[in-house]
Amino acid sequence: MRSSSSRGRTSHTSHRRTATVALAGVAALIAAAVQSGAASATPAAPQTGRANPAHAAVKLTPSQRAELIRHAGAGTAATARQIGLGSQEKLVVKDVVKDADGTLHTRYERTYGGLPVLGGDLIVTTASSGKTMDVIKATGATLKVAGLTPALSKAAAQKQAVQRARALGGTKSTADSVRKVIWAATGKPVLAYETVVGGLQDDGTPNQLHVITDAATGKKLYEYQGVKNGIGNTQYSGQVTLTTTQSGSTYTLNDGARGGHKTYNLNHGSSGTGTLYSQNNDTWGNGSNSNAATAGADAHYGAALTWDFYKNTFGRSGIKNNGVGAYSRVHYGNSYVNAFWDDSCFCMTYGDGSGNAKPLTSIDVAGHEMSHGVTSATANLNYSGESGGLNEATSDIMAAGVEFYANNSTDPGDYLVGEKIDINGNGTPLRYMDKPSKDGASKDNWYSGIGGVDVHYSSGPANHFFYLLSEGSGTKVVNGVTYNSPTADNLPVTGIGRDKALQIWYRALSTKWTSTTNYAGARTGTLAAAGELYGTSSAEYKAVQDAWAGVAVGSRSGGGGGGGTSYENTTPVSVPDNGPAVTSNISVTGRTGNAPSNLQVAVDITHTWRGDLVIDLVGPSGTAYRLKNFSGSDSADNVNETYTVNAAAETANGTWKLRVQDQATYDTGTINGWKLTFP
C-alpha cells in the first residue's frame, strides 16, 4: 500500500535520525531465492505453453481443505519458531492451497500478546517434503511494541471514530465495537484501537467504518470501509434455468447444488434477511420489474454463474472455498442505485435503482460482489490506498470473467462495467478496462499519488493491465465491442488470452498477495504466478512484464525484439529497519566475455522514506557499484528505478547481487524484485 510519506512519520520531525555506521552481518532470510522467478535468461523468442500442471491448485473437497487447515493449525507453534517469530507472536491458520506437486501455500493471521495484528498476515510456502520454500509477509517490520497498556482511553478512540463516520455521512452516535489491536500495516508496529461504526451512509448503504487509532498518541492511523460497494448494470438475462428446492408443493430459491445459496426479498427494507423467495410453482418472475420475483431470479442466476465460474475455472468451491454458499438480498431500500458485498453477513445485496425501476441484479454485479468475498477470504486486500484499488479491480476482473463464462446471448462478455444501465444519464458504461480514463475519473496508469484516489478509480491501472494481458494493445473487436488500448510507454503489448490472464491473477491473489499488497507487489506476485504456471522464459511471463510496463509499473521484459536479454529475480526479500544489509541474487550463465559498459539494473523496492536506503550492485568479482546513496531528506516512498552501470570490468557469467541496507530508524521495506538487462 502506497500512501503519503508523512503517514506514521511524525517522529522524523521530532527525533534525530541516526544512520548505521557499520554492518553487523548479513541477516539470514527466510524468503530465500527459491521461487521460479530466480534468474534465467529470457530467450529472444519465448515459447507460449500450457500451464505447468505441477503448480496448478488441487481441487480440494471441503473435508480435504478442513483437514489441511487442522493439520496446519496443529503445527502453528513450530512454524512460528521456524520462520523466526517472537515469543509473544502466534499464528492462526486462515486457509491452505495445495498444488498438484504437494506444495502447500498456508495463509496465516498473526497475534501478539493475544491481540490481533492488523497487517500481520503472511503466507508460508512449503514443499511436499515439509521444507519451507518461501515466506511472504504483509509487513517486513519486526513485531515489537513497548507495552500492551494504552495511554488513550477506549472512549476517546470511539469518539474520534464516530465523528469521522458522521463526516462521511454516517448516522450512529456510538460505535458498534472497539478493540485493542496491534497495527502493523504501515510503518512501525504500534498498540492501537480498532473502532467499527455502523449505521447507514448518506446513500443508504450500510456503514462499517473501521478507524485505527494510535493507543499512545490518539492519532488516526488508518481507516477503511468494511462494506465493499460495487457498481453494476441492470438488465434481464433472458429465460434461464435456476436450481431451486421443492418441499411438498412449495418451491424456494434455495440452491442445494451450490452450498445452499438462498435468495431473499427485502421488500424495500434495509436490515435482516427479508423473506426467502417461496411460491407454489417453479417459474420465477415475468421478465419485468412488475413482478418482485424477477430481480430474485436474476440474482439467483448470477450467484449460480459465479459459483460455477470459480469452481470450473479455478477449482474453488464457494466464496470461502469451503463448499458453503453465501446468500443474496434483493429490493434493498428505496431507489437505491448500487449493490454491495458485506463480509459480516456473508451476503450480496442489490438495490432497485432510480425510481425502484431497475434492480441492479445483472450477471456482472453478482460476479463483482461475490468476488469481494473471495478477496476477503484470500489476500484480504485493505480497502483503502493502492491495495483498495487492487481489491476493486479484482472484482471488476472476475466479473468480466463471469460474464464471458456465462456465454449469455442477452449479455455477451465484455471489458466494460455497468454498460447496460444509464446511471450517468448519457448511455455510457461506468468503467472501461481498455482505457479506464474514458469514464472521466479512473486512472489509466500508475503514479506515485494514486493511493489517494477513490478505490473505484485507483483500480484503473489494474483493470488496464488485465485488458492488456488478455487482449493486447491497439484496436480490437471482441463480441461486437471495439476497444483501443494505449500503453504508458507507447510500446505494444501482445495479449496471452483472457483464460491465462485469469489464472495468473487468481494464483497471485490466492498464494502471493497479502493485505498490504500495492501495485509494485501486484506485479511481483503476478510474475511469480506466471513463472510457476508457464515458466520464467515463457511468452506468458514476458507478457506480464510488458503489460505492467504498459501501465507504468516496472520495466519491460527486454527479451526479444532487439531489446537485450534480461535476467530477473522476483522473490521478495524483507529489508529490516536500521539493520544489516540484505541481498537478492541473480545467476547469469551462458554468456561470453565481460559485462557491458551500459548494464541496465532495474530495481523495484517498496519502502516508506526511501532516503533511508543505500543500494549497491555487487558483481561476480565482489566489487560493489553504488546505485543509490543515503539521503535523510528524501521522504518519498519506494524505489522504482533503472540504473545504468559500467560493469565492463566484470565477467558476465556468475552471481550478481543487489545489496540493500536501511540506515535509519522507523521504516521497513521489501525488495519486490530486480532485473539485469544486457543490451
- Residues tagged active-site: 369, 456
- Enumerate residues 6+ apart whose C-beta is below 8 A from 425: none
Nearest Cα neighbor of 83 from 38, 34, 136, 43 is 136
- Residue position matching grid coordinates 440452491: 255
Q: Tell me the C-alpha distance between 260 and 253, whole Å.
A: 9
Q: Tell me the C-alpha distance between 270 and 446, whole Å.
A: 37
DSSP H or E run through 661: strand 654-662
- Residue position matching grid coordinates 513485531: 143
Cell of 639: 524505489
State the maximum Cα–Cα separation within the chain, in Å, rounded to a whole number.
86
Q: How long is the chain?
A: 679
Nearest Cα neighbor of 512 from 430, 573, 572 is 572
Q: Tell me the C-alpha distance between 323 and 63, whole Å.
A: 9
Q: Tell me the C-alpha distance between 132 and 57, whole Å.
A: 18
Q: Is 558 left (phi over 0), alpha (psi -120 to 50) or beta?
A: left
- Residue position matching grid coordinates 540484505: 582
Strand partners, 262: 254, 327
Strand partners, 279: 251
- Residue position matching grid coordinates 478442513: 66
Taking each helix axis from N to C end, the angle separating 498-511 and 539-549, rounded to the nearest 10 degrees, works out to 80
State the CB neighbour count (10 A cutoff) for residue 449: 12
Strand partners, 618: 624, 657
CA-to-CA separations, 195 to 161, 192, 216, 319, in angstroms, rounded: 6, 10, 15, 26
Q: Tell me the C-alpha distance between 432 and 391, whole Å.
A: 17
Tell me if 517 sits within 8 A of 509, measured CB to CB. no
| Eight-class DSSP state of 382 | -
State the CB neighbour count (10 A cutoff) for residue 469: 28
